[in-house]
Structure 1
Amino acid sequence: MTKLTLGSHPYLLGFDQLERLLERNAKSGNEGYPPFNIEQTSQNSYRITLAVAGFAEGDLSITVEDQQLVIRGRQRDEAEGRVFLHRGIAARQFQRSFVLADGVEVGEAVMENGLLHVDLTRVQPETVVQTINIRKG
C-alpha cells in the first residue's frame, strides 16, 4: 500500500509546499521551552505570548522566514568573576517556530513583565471570480 500525501492527492493541487512546511515544523525541535500561549483576540487576530523571564529585548530576535515566524532568544552569560553557591537559573538559548498561513501578517511585539507578546492578523483577501473561455480545438 502506498502512502498518500497532500502533494499526491488528485484533488489537492499545489499543496506540496504545505506538506513540506508541516514536515519541517515537526522536525524543528520545538521543545517545551519557553512555554507559550496562543490566543485568538478577535475573529481575524491572534496573539502569541512567550514566557521569557530573564531575557532583555536585545537578547531576542523575531523574524519571518519562508512562512514561519521564528523567535530566538540568546542570553549573554555574565557569570565571569561570580561565584555561585547554587545555579538554578541557566542562561539558555531557544528557538520557537510557528508556521503562518497565507494572509497572516506579523504585527508588533511587546515585552511586558517577562512576557513577549507577538500580535498576528489575518488579512481577508478579496474574492475573485475568474471566467475561463473555452476555445474550439
Structure 2
Amino acid sequence: MVVHSQANAASGMAVHDDCKLRFLELKAKRTYRFIVFKIEEKQKQVVVEKVGEPAQSYEDFTASLPADECRYAVYDFDFVTAENCQKSRIFFIAWSPDTSRVRSKMIYASSKDRFKRELDGIQVELQATDPTEMGLDVIKSRAS
C-alpha cells in the first residue's frame, strides 16, 4: 500500500491518507463515534491516533484526549431537535490545553485550517484549552 501525503508549504505538515479515509468512514458509514488525530512532529504529518466505536460515549471521547498535549479530533454527535427529529453534527475539535508545550500549540494552530480542509463535511468547529470549553453542554448548544 502506497501512502501519498501532500506537505503544506506554510507549516510543512502532511496529512496521512488514513486520516481522510477514517473521516470518510465516520461521515458516510458512521463506522466510528470519534477520531483523535495527532501530529507526528518528526515525520511532519498528521496521523490517526485513536478511533472510537459507535457505542462509545462523549465521556469516552474526552477521556481519550491527553491532559497536557494538543490534538485534533472529530466527534459525531447525535441529538434530538425540539421538533423531535434525530440529527447528527460532525464536530471538529482543536484541543490545545494550556499545559501543553508552546511549540506544540504553535504547530497545531498553524496546521489546523489546512488539516480541516482535508476533512470535507465538518459542520461545527470548537477550540478548547480546557475540558469545560468542550463540555457536553457546549456541544449541545453548538449542535442546534
Question: TM-score range with shorter-chain normalisation?
Answer: under 0.3
Of structures 1 and 2, the one with the larger relative CO (CA 8 A, separation 6+) is 1
**Greater share of helix residues, 1 or 2?**
2
Q: TM-score, normalised by structure 1?
A: 0.24
Computing the radius of gyration over CA atoms, which structure comes out larger, 1 or 2?
Answer: 1
Q: TM-score, normalised by structure 2?
A: 0.23
